[in-house]
Amino acid sequence: MRHVDFSPLYRSTVGFDRLFSMLDTLGQPENAQTYPPYNIERTGDDAYRISMAVAGFGQDDISIEAHRNVLTIKGEKNGEEKGDGELLYRGIAARSFERRFQLADHVEVTGANLENGLLHIDLKRNIPEEMKPRSIPIATDKSGKKEIEAKAQ
């Protein structure tokens, strides 16, 4: 088991506790999910897309929920589909799943669509105006000149 001690970083950072706890849980095998497979891609400066292979699942079988920086995708088959003949081999998995993604602050789900067995979830980072960098003016003396050094008199 690989464990990294983040305690030296706690001394010089403020507000990153959640980040360090997420990094701590990455190496734990009980959190390793392999089904269904997915891709995460950047589609713009502040836009992302999660594409998940959900072959065999319909729109009514999948639920998507975003709550407190966690995106949860659940898939559950409503009933066993019966074909005309006897099933000899099942290669398309139809087992239930639940996949969770940690979202950064100010990342919102903008839409989702199911197309050709792929579930596409679009995300966008919307940073509020008060969180964006702003320029701070430097005060000057009454004459309007910025004084660096005072002259000795």
Alpha carbons 121 and 49: distance in angstroms, whole number: 6
Question: How many structural domains does the chain have?
Answer: 1
Provide mean pLDDT across the span 85-94: 79
For residue 26, tell me if it sits in a domain: no
Tokens of 13: 């950072």
What pLDDT is attached to residue 2?
56
Where in the sequence is the domain holding 68, given as residue range(s)? Answer: 34-81+88-131
Kindly tell me if the per-residue pLDDT of 41 is higher than 80: yes
What pLDDT is attached to residue 133?
83
131 — phi, psi (to 5°)? -95, -15
Provide mean pLDDT across the span 37-59: 90
Length of the chain: 153
Query: What is the dihedral angle through the alpha carbons of 128, 130, 131, 137, rounded to the nearest 10 degrees?
Result: 140
Taking Cα atoms as reference points, which of 122, 125, 109, 120 lies closest to residue 59? 120
For residue 17, tell me if it sits in a domain: no
Please state the pTM of the whole predicted model: 0.64
For residue 56, tell me if it sits in a domain: yes
Instruction: Write the CATH number for 49.
Output: 2.60.40.790
What pLDDT is attached to residue 49?
94
